[in-house]
Structure 1
Amino acid sequence: MKIAVIGGTGLIGSQVVTDLNAAGHEAVPHSKSSGADVISGQGLDDALAGVDVVVNLTNSPTFDEAAPAFFRTSMDNLLAAARKGGVGHFVILSIVGTDQVPELDYYKAKLLQEQILAAGPVPYSIVRATQFMDFMDAVLSWTADGDTVRLPATPIQPIASKDVARAVAEVAAGTPLNGIRTIAGPEIFPLDELGRITLSHKGDDRTVVTDPTAGMFAVVKGDVLTDRNAHLAPTRYTDWLS
């Protein structure tokens, strides 16, 4: 099966390409640097010509109110190229809870991306994942101030990027879901506790203070960033840290 991975050089995309090729498929990575520009549309017809599946793993450069415009333009351009190229399956990676946190511009943008795909002309699959373990350092940096890191106790179900990539590759190699598959890590933590575990493992003596107003996830109410009914990945957070 010939599969075009748009955004195929990034954290998830590069692993998806590796997994698909290891499974015997012909997975080709594409990015702006290789001539496939999802915003201008340049190079997309060539990238998707004659492929069976397209996996779109491109991401907005910002998490703010500009994100919806990125996803609308990129999806419109990719869907047009996919239809022209006769692509039979279009896969995207989204986020658990994206339809339940309207206060976050980025989550609204990802929901818009899902809606555009579902309304489009190509059979599709959406993989929703919980927060990546790989992004925990970034989360800590958002609210760090000297010797203190402030984090809310928002429930988080972190998943390793390698497990995300494996799930995306499996979905891409299968028949279109015309729906959503949800994946998550095997454990749920309050975000503040996850911060303490992370700093302790790194030998970082900063103190995590529980602050329900701190950071991007402060607006999240309840456990909408977790899914106990998701397909659970095998990698535990402490094993990933090690």
Structure 2
Amino acid sequence: MRFTVLGGSGLIGSQVVQRLTEAGHDVVSASLSTGVDVIGDKGLKEAVEGSEVVINLTNSPVFDESSIGFFETAMTNIGAAAKAAGVGHHVIVSIVGVDQVPELAYYRAKALQENILRDGPTPYTIVRATQFYEFVGAIMSWTTEGDTVRLPSTPVQPMASADVATAVVKAATGDPVQGIRNIAGPEVHPLDELGRITLAARPDGRHVVTDEEAGMFAVTRRSVLLAPEDAELATTRYEDWLQRQP
């Protein structure tokens, strides 16, 4: 099969490209670095031409209100190119609970991305994932003041990006489901406790203080970020993943 992976140089995209290539598929990795601009609509038509499946892993460079415009423009351009090329399956990665957190601009933007895909002419699959292990460090840095990391006790069920890539490949090589596939990590952690686990494994002089008003995840309701009943659970535990990182 021929696949076009938009955002093919990113965290998930690079792993998806590698796995599809190793499986013997014909893969086009498309990103700004290869001359494909989904906002300026440059190189997009050429990137998807001849592909049976488009895996759309493009992402807004910011998480504020402007992310809404990014996804609206990107999805409009990608959808038009996919339709013109006769693409039979459009896959995107979204977020578990994305439609339940209107307080966050980025979540509203991702919900809009899903809606545009649903309303388009191309058969589709939405892979909704929980937060990635790779982002825990960034989440902690956002609320670090001196040697103190302030985090709420919001329960989260994160997963490794490698497991996300596996799920994306599974979805893309299967038939469109015209709906959502939910995926999540194997364990639930309060976010503040996840921070403590991180610093216990990699001490850097900081400590975690529970603050229910700290950071972007303070506004989420208690179970929004957890796997729904139909979710497929990955097997990689956070502590095991931490031990494998350089």
Q: Does the alignment reach a TM-score above 0.5?
A: yes
For the pair 1:173 / 2:173, whether they are aligned, the reply is yes
Cα distance in 1 between the residues matched to 2:45 and 2:125 = 21
Task: Find the counterpart in structure 2 of residue 36 from structure 1.
Answer: 36
**Structure 2 residue runs without a partner (length 5+):** none
Matches within 5 A, 1:87-106: 87-106=87-106
Unaligned runs of 5+ residues in structure 1 are none
Alignment of 1:158-197 (within 5 A): 158-197=158-197
CA distance in 1, matches of 2:19, 2:51: 17
Give the secondary-structure state (helix, strand or coil) at the position aligned to 2:99: coil
Alpha-carbon separation, structure 2, partners of 1:106 and 1:203? 31
CA distance in 2 between partners of 1:61 and 1:228 (Å)? 28
1:41-190 superposed matches below 5 A: 41-190=41-190
Distance in 1 (alpha carbons) for counterparts of 2:204 and 2:67: 33
The TM-score, its normalising length taken from structure 1, stands at 0.99
Separation of aligned partners in 1, 2:154 and 2:23? 37
* In 2, Cα distance between equivalents of 1:159 and 1:45: 33
Amino acid at match of 2:34: S
Map of 1:231 onto structure 2: 232
Q: What SS does the aligned partner of 2:74 have?
A: helix
Are the counterparts in 1 of residues 182 and 228 from structure 2 also a CA contact under 8 Å?
no
The one-letter code sitting in structure 1 at the alignment partner of 2:153 is A
The Cα shift of 1:60 comes to 0.5
What do residues 70-114 of structure 1 show as CA deviations (whole Å, max 9, x unaligned)? 000000000100011110000000000100000000000000000
Q: Scaled by the length of structure 2, what TM-score is found?
A: 0.97
Superposed CA offset, 1:8-63 (max 9, x none): 00000000011111222112210012111100111111001110000010100110
After superposition, the CA RMSD in angstroms is: 0.7
Q: Is the 8 A contact 2:101 2:220 kept in 1?
A: yes
Q: Which runs of 4+ in 1 moved over 2 A?
A: none
Shift of 1:228: 4.7
Q: Does 1:22 align with 2:14?
A: no
